[in-house]
Amino acid sequence: MADRAMGKRRKVEEKVDIANLSFGEDFEHAEAMLNAEVKTVIEKLNETNQLERDDMSEMMSNTFKYVEMFGEFQDLDSISLCKRELMELGDLKVHGFEAASLGNLMPATADEAKSLITSLQRFDDEDVKQMCNIVQRYKKT
C-alpha cells in the first residue's frame, strides 16, 4: 500500500517543462512527428485498408484534415532529410521535439523560432537562423 501511495506521489510531483525539454515519463521515449509524417502514416493505413475513411473516428478524420492542410513537406525523404540535418547540425544537439516543432511551425527568423519554441533560447541567433533556413529549404514549393 505504501508503494502505491509513493507511486502516485511521484506522478504528481513529476514536472513537465517543455522549455527545458522535459516532457514527463509518458513521453520520455516518444518521437515527435511532423504534421507531414502523421499525414503519411494515416495515408499508408488507408492504402493498406487498415483504416477505411468511412471507419475513421471523428478525431482521426479531423487530425487527417489538419495535417493535410499543414503538412508542408513533399514526401518522406524530405521529412527525413530535414529532421536528420537539423538533429546533426554541428554539435548543437537539436532535440527531436525541436526539429519537429521547427518543421511544423516553419518559422522564418530566429526571433520567431525562439518565441514559438522556447527551448531554442539556449542557441544563439545565428544557429537558430541556420535551423530556419534548413526547414525553409525542404518546405514544399
Which residues sit opposite 17 in a β-bridge? 22
Amino acid at 132: C
Confidence of residue 117 (pLDDT cuts 50, 70, 90): very high
- Grid coordinates of 100: 519537429
Gap between the Cα atoms of 72 and 139, Å rounded: 6
Gap between the Cα atoms of 90 and 94, Å rounded: 9
Q: What is the pLDDT of residue 37?
A: 85
Of 98 and 25, the one with more pLDDT: 98
Q: What is the pLDDT of residue 131?
A: 96
Q: What is the pLDDT of residue 50?
A: 59
Mean of all residue pLDDT scores within the chain = 80
Exposed e or buried b per residue across 104-140, where buried means at least 16 C-beta atoms within 10 angstroms of its C-beta: bbbbeebeebbeebebbeebeeeebbbbbebbeebee
For the segment 96-104, the average pLDDT, to the nearest whole number, is 92
For the segment 64-84, the average pLDDT, to the nearest whole number, is 79
| Cα 53 to Cα 5, 31, 37, 48, distances in angstroms | 44, 26, 18, 12
Which residues sit opposite 73 in a β-bridge? 139
pLDDT at 4 over 60: no
- Beta carbons within 8 Å of 63's beta carbon, 6+ residues apart: 38, 42
pTM given for the model? 0.74
Q: What is the pLDDT of residue 49?
A: 65
SS3 17: strand
Report whether 68 contacts 39 (CB < 8 A): yes
For 22-72, how does the pLDDT look when each residue is reduced to its tens digit (9 = 90+)?
777 877 788 888 888 888 888 887 777 655 555 567 777 788 887 877 667
Q: What is the pLDDT of residue 138?
A: 84
